[in-house]
Amino acid sequence: MKKLLFTKMHGAGNDFIVSDNRFGLFPSHDANWIRTICHRNHGIGSEGLLLLETDKELDFSMRFFNPDGSEAAMCGNGARCIALFARSQGIAGGEMTFRSAAGPIRATVLSNSVRIQLPPPHSIECGVPLSSIPLEVDCINTGVLHAVAFVEDLQAFPLERIGPLVRFHARFAPEGINFNAVQRRDDGTLDIRTHERGVEAETPACGTGITAAALLAARRFGLPTPITVRCAHGDILQVSFKPDDAGGFAAVELAGPAVSVFEGSIPYPGEEAPA
């Protein structure tokens, strides 16, 4: 029975299992086992798994798995964590570029935070009606698709009830969507709560959701860059961007804290990964 090394990390409370898979030893084909190790009672516990793999052109490649075992194209806080991991392991320097399924990501590891430049966002739609709820949302793809509703009282908003309704709404079938409730404060900062696809619950923070909220707030309210966002965990992140001529956004960056919590190993009871 082989043992697999991992590092437990979190970005603004969004926690991950991170593993160096440059030699292909991690059983990424085994969705059941990924679900087990991400489970908070039966495994290590996390909101996702990050695998660092080799890349022929860039510093490395990132693969991200949701705690339900499904693979997703992108995770903003995960990208910040894996950048810190790569720097601490000597795999990359303080400035790096790595591949995600959503596109290349540039990252800078700073003294107390990690800043990433995300792939260009797309698929922006404002004022999308969801009559069966009823609710109106703005949508954008910041690596994965997000819906954002701007609300008056974030803490009173029934995210545990509305979140799943938006997540599985027929308008976004078959893949579904991540849902964010956002409150704009008088000083232009944002507070956010996120119901995350794949986690299927409220998450302490979501990097692509925070980015989506900031960009859509800029679009809807004319907020200037950078925009400060406070996540449910309490940490502060900043989103900066450049508006483009087509009404979209370029040079989108997300900056915030990333932390290594502990290192360990876990036995894998299944068969070896296929060659």
Cα separation of the two ends of the chain: 17
* Tokens representing residue 61 in the block: 């490649």
Nearby residues of 146 by Cβ (< 8 Å), 6 or more positions away: 139, 140, 177, 178, 179, 180, 208, 209, 212, 213
Q: Is the pLDDT of residue 273 over 60?
A: no
Produce one character per residue of 39-55: b if its CB has 16 or more CB atoms within 10 Å, e if not. Answer: eeeebbebbbbbbbbee
Residue whose C-alpha is closest to residue 76's, from 11, 6, 137: 11
| Cα-based distances in Å from 217 to 49, 234, 244 | 30, 20, 16
Position 202 scores a pLDDT of: 96
Which domains are present in the chain? 2-113+259-268 (3.10.310.10), 122-256 (3.10.310.10)
Q: Is the pLDDT of residue 250 over 50?
A: yes
pLDDT tens digit sequence for 141-158: 999 999 999 999 999 999
Q: What is the DSSP letter of 172?
A: G
Position 30 scores a pLDDT of: 96
Q: What is the DSSP letter of 273?
A: P
Q: Is the pLDDT of residue 272 over 70?
A: no
Residue whose C-alpha is closest to residue 64's, from 80, 75, 56: 75
Residue 248 binned pLDDT confidence (cut-offs 50, 70, 90): confident
Angle between helices 76-88 and 207-221 (to 10 degrees): 130
Q: Is the pLDDT of residue 201 over 80?
A: yes
pLDDT tens digit sequence for 94-134: 999 999 999 999 999 998 899 999 999 999 999 999 988 98
Nearby residues of 254 by Cβ (< 8 Å), 6 or more positions away: 76, 80, 115, 116, 118, 207, 210, 211, 237, 238, 239
| Cα-based distances in Å from 57 to 84, 98, 103, 248 | 20, 9, 13, 28
Q: Beta-carbon neighbour count of residue 175 at 10 Å?
A: 8
Would you state the torsion angle of the CA atoms of residues 68, 128, 140, 184, taken in this order, to the nearest 10 degrees?
-100
Q: What is the DSSP letter of 159?
A: H
Q: What is the mean pLDDT of the chain?
A: 95
Write out the catalytic residue numbers.
Answer: 75, 206
Percent of the chain with pLDDT over 70: 98
- Give CA–CA dist 263/200, Å, rounded: 27
Position 98 scores a pLDDT of: 98
pLDDT tens digit sequence for 14-73: 999 999 999 999 999 999 999 999 999 999 999 999 999 999 999 999 999 999 999 999
